[in-house]
Chain A
Amino acid sequence: MTASESQTEVDPKPQGLHEDWLLVAVGIATLVIATLLVQVQVDPDVPAAKPTVVNYASNWFAKLSNWDAQPIDAFFSDPEKGDRTFLGVKLFTTWLVIGCVLLPIALFRRVSWLQFLLGYTGMFALGTLAFLMAAQETVKYLNFEYVLWALLLGMLINNTIGIPKWLQSMVIGESMIKLGLVLFGAEILFGKLVALGPPGIFTSWLVTPVVLITTFWFGQRVLKISSPSLNMVISADMSVCGVSAAIATGAACRAKREEISYAIGVSLFFTAIMMVVQPQFVLWSGMDPLVGAAWIGGTIDSTGAVAAAGAVLKEDGLAVASTVKMIQNVLIGVIAFAVAVYWTARYGESEGSNRVGWIEIWHRFPKFVLGFIGASLLFSFLPVYTQYDGLLAETIGKQITSQIRVWLFCLAFVAFGLEINFRELSKVLSGSKPLLLYVIGQAWSMILSLAMAYLMFGVLYAEKIKEILAK
């Protein structure tokens, strides 16, 4: 069975209501409930006191612990500190919460309760296994994220025994990704943009779109990559922030699951190398560590890898690198929105005509992107979220929505793996052009980022940055 055949079989979307609207509604409902679960309290008798946060869902989500040689250690809260509390209850509550979030989609697709229970539990078990593989210390500290293992597990099953029938009803990766992205919007806070002032904005928000657009242009015009969506996903994950950018832009430009998977694989491979080599190059070359840190923040794809590489340049290096990356992270909302608009207008369903009217654009536009950008704007600017320095928005994003989003992405990549067969994947992998695009784009990004980092952190704002760091 080919991937496209399996897609038709397990993906019977009812006609009528666009599923994207349902995903937006479920996402918003989840965000409202998350908001109700977190309270910011201020002691009225002590005006100068810092506000405190109460999160009623703080114990709901399981995060597997790191393990070295004994996988069982992952299921205890913190074995290294001697805390052997079993995570079973948390895993159950996580299963329950994610199940509640996915249930409306299953009902919309007319999946029976029994099918849902079996299919979802099977997917959750595979997701847990992917997290277990990612929690192994060598894997974790080399930045090989859970999505890679989720994909691998799904592909192993599909390419050996095929998708078991009882699992088929929940192989809905695309919907899980879109729902995860609506929730993801709540983590993209525009207030973070100004964290480093003009140097941060110039390094992250000027260089990144320039690299993205020129790399995409290069892929289309010079390398002549046959799939524009593959070109866009590679360009975005290389220039913005790795896996998360590949997922967001991939969904926005309706890239094939094989294309998103390929882009993620390439990005994680090069990130693992760059996070080790780039800081060593900064030290070896005698470069100003702050310029080096800003350069690392602007070029290494993955956020965690940026922090790991920045830490080699000591505490100030870590602060500068991770802040530059955080500002770049915020760009993902704007990029995904812009890509969705461009794609709808340029590569619509009716091939052959490049110019389409606004009504047609609206019909074709992926509606979940509105939920994604809407959540980001609400959490960035609505007074209820922005008061107390955005404490409420930060807590919800960090402690609730990111926990749900991570599980949704993990299950989505298990589903993607279950729909990819090696023959289909080899079509994407064939030829060296996509790899060449990544390498040339990354080299271009490194040159531009270094020039801007030097100008901003080494010349124009060097004193101001040192002043902030000295506080």
Chain B
Amino acid sequence: MMDRDPNQERNSTSQKSLRLMMCVAVLIVAWTILLPALARVPSVAAHIRNLKEQKIHADAMFYTELEDIPRLNYYASDEPTPR
């Protein structure tokens, strides 16, 4: 088996690191500049404001991750529905 050239290996490692750093830079720009700018677009801002006011976690995966939202109880007739 041929030995790898250490210089080539070092170059390849630094290239990989550079690629990772470039990806990280793209993420930083997207999350700190682009997404906040999108949040200020009037329609998006209104959507966010509405959900915040109603304490709705739009990213909830399951109902246990939602805050207490009004739910219905078909069989309970005495107590009023929580609002």
Binding site for B on A (CB under 8 A): 68-69, 71, 133-134, 136-147, 156-157, 160-162, 184, 187, 192, 194-197, 199-200, 241-244, 275-276, 302-305, 307-308, 311-312, 315, 318-320, 322-323, 325-326, 329, 397-398, 402, 406, 409, 464-465, 468-469, 471
Contacts and interface: CB of A to CB of B under 8 A. Distances in A.
Given A133-B31, A304-B58, A319-B81, A69 B73 contact: no
Interface string B24-61: 10010001100110110000100110110010111111
Given A69-B36, A160-B20, A319 B56 contact: no
A258 to B, nearest CB: 20
A307 B62 contact: no
A141 B58 contact: yes
Nearest to A162: B16
A323 B63 CA distance: 9
B80 A471 contact: yes
A304 B36 contact: no
A322 B48 contact: no
A143 B59 contact: yes
B83 interface: yes
Contact of A196 (B51, B57, B69, B74): B74
A147 B65 CA distance: 14
A320 B71 CA distance: 7
Interface residues of B, number: 42
A308 B51 contact: yes
Contacts of B1: none
A311 B71 CA distance: 13
A454 to B, nearest CB: 18
A395 B46 CA distance: 33
Contacts of A138: 35-36, 38-39, 44, 48
Q: Which of A145, A184, A318, A471 has the most CB of B within 10 A?
A: A471
23 contacts: A138-B36, A138-B39, A140-B59, A141-B44, A141-B48, A141-B51, A145-B59, A160-B20, A161-B17, A187-B64, A192-B63, A195-B71, A195-B74, A243-B61, A303-B60, A303-B61, A303-B63, A304-B65, A307-B58, A308-B58, A311-B54, A320-B72, A329-B62
A464 B32 CA distance: 49
Given A187-B64, A194-B74, A311-B50, A71 B31 contact: yes
A145 B59 CA distance: 5
Q: Which 7 A-B pairs have the closest CB atoms?
A: A304-B60, A197-B74, A160-B20, A69-B36, A308-B58, A319-B70, A326-B63
Nearest to A247: B61
Given A68-B36, A302-B61, A402-B64, A323 B56 contact: no
Interface of B: 13, 16-17, 19-20, 23-24, 27, 31-32, 35-36, 38-39, 44, 47-48, 50-51, 54, 56-66, 69-75, 79-81, 83
Nearest to B63: A326
Nearest to A186: B64
Contacts of A71: 31-32
B59 A144 contact: yes
Contacts of B65: 303-304, 402, 406
Contacts of A140: 57-59
Contacts of A276: 47
A244 B58 contact: no
Given A141-B51, A311-B51, A200 B58 contact: no
Contacts of B54: 311, 318
A325 B58 contact: no
Nearest to B67: A307
B47 to A, nearest CB: 6
Contacts of A319: 69-72, 81
Given A194-B75, A471-B80, A68 B60 contact: no
Given A184-B62, A329-B63, A468-B73, 7 more contacts: A71-B31, A71-B32, A138-B48, A139-B59, A143-B58, A195-B72, A471-B79
Contacts of B56: 304, 307-308, 311, 318
Contacts of B31: 71, 133, 136
A471 B19 CA distance: 60
Contacts of A323: 71-72
Given A307-B56, A307-B69, A319-B70, A136 B63 contact: no
